[in-house]
């Protein structure tokens, strides 16, 4: 099976870009995560780093953005030079296979994952790893498309997760909140 980096790197390096953050989405994010006050946040699959920068500069989390595609990490780093020297930390890392002890912090008050979960092959394994890096009382924020929001004939239906994926994602948390934004669903999950 193709590694995540082998899949994503050619897309980033050939100029593919993804849906930007809307005000409605950042509003929900802030409502569910609250102010960072210097606590640690981890954005998994950070892409060009927009969400990680928002967590860091607007919400006040000490943020690390990781991505398995070198071109995405390069883009995130370049943007940050424009923002000044005190931005998020960026790491080239495959969250599904790399050693989690290489992350800058042992535990994170917020772990975010935007438009990534759909593409994870071993979702059980992924969720286990998320639980390992979440601090007690932390929150796991997931933004994803839902397959059943689109007609079967719509080629974009493949961007969404299935009802079974949703069941797996939301099982076993003490609090599982959800909110809809058009084709997107946002989840705030707490251990
Ligand atoms: C659709 S893009 C979304 C990027 C960004 N989160 C956003 O909202 O714009 C999915 C990203 O997840 C990254 N990714 C996928 N699987 C990954 C993994 N196992 N570890 C780290 N990053 C991963 C890809 O390289 C890609 O940058």
- Among 71, 51, 40, which Cα is nearest to 138's? 40
Structure tokens at 34: 């609250």
pLDDT in tens, 39-86: 999 999 999 999 999 999 999 999 999 999 999 999 999 886 665 668
Q: CB 167: neighbour CB atoms within 10 A?
A: 9
The answer, as to whether pTM is greater than 0.75, is yes
Among candidate residues 106, 117, 169, the one with its CA nearest the CA of residue 145:
117
Q: Do β-strands 175-181 and 184-190 pair in parallel, antiparallel, or remain unpaired? A: antiparallel
151 C-alpha vs ligand 1 centroid, how far in Å? 25
Topology annotation, domain 4-190: Rossmann fold (3.40.50)
Averaged pLDDT, 152-173: 88
* Beta-carbon contacts of residue 15 (< 8 Å; ≥ 6 apart): none
Pick from 79, 116, 56: which is nearest to 64 by CA?
56
Q: Which residues line ligand 1 (CB under 6 A)?
A: 4, 8, 18, 44-47, 51, 66-69, 72, 94-96, 114-116, 119
Domain boundaries, the chain: 4-190
């Amino acid at each position: 099976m193709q590694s995540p980096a082998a899949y994503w790197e050619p897309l980033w390096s050939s100029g593919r870009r993804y849906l930007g953050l809307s005000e409605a989405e950042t509003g929900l994010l802030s409502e569910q995560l609250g102010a960072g006050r210097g606590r640690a946040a981890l954005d998994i699959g950070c892409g060009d780093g927009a969400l990680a920068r928002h967590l860091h500069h607007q919400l006040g989390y000490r943020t690390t953005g990781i991505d398995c595609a070198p071109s995405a990490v390069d883009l995130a780093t370049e943007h940050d030079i424009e923002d000044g020297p005190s931005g998020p930390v960026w790491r080239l890392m495959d969250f599904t296979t790399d050693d989690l002890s290489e992350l800058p912090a042992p535990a994170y008050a917020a772990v975010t994952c935007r438009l990534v979960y759909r593409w994870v092959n071993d979702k059980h394994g992924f969720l286990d790893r998320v639980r390992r890096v979440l601090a007690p009382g932390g929150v796991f924020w997931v933004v994803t498309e839902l397959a059943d929001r689109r007609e079967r004939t719509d080629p974009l239906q493949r961007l969404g997760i299935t009802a079974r994926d949703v069941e797996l994602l939301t099982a076993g948390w003490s609090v599982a909140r959800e909110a809809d934004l058009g084709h997107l669903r946002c989840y705030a999950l707490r251990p």
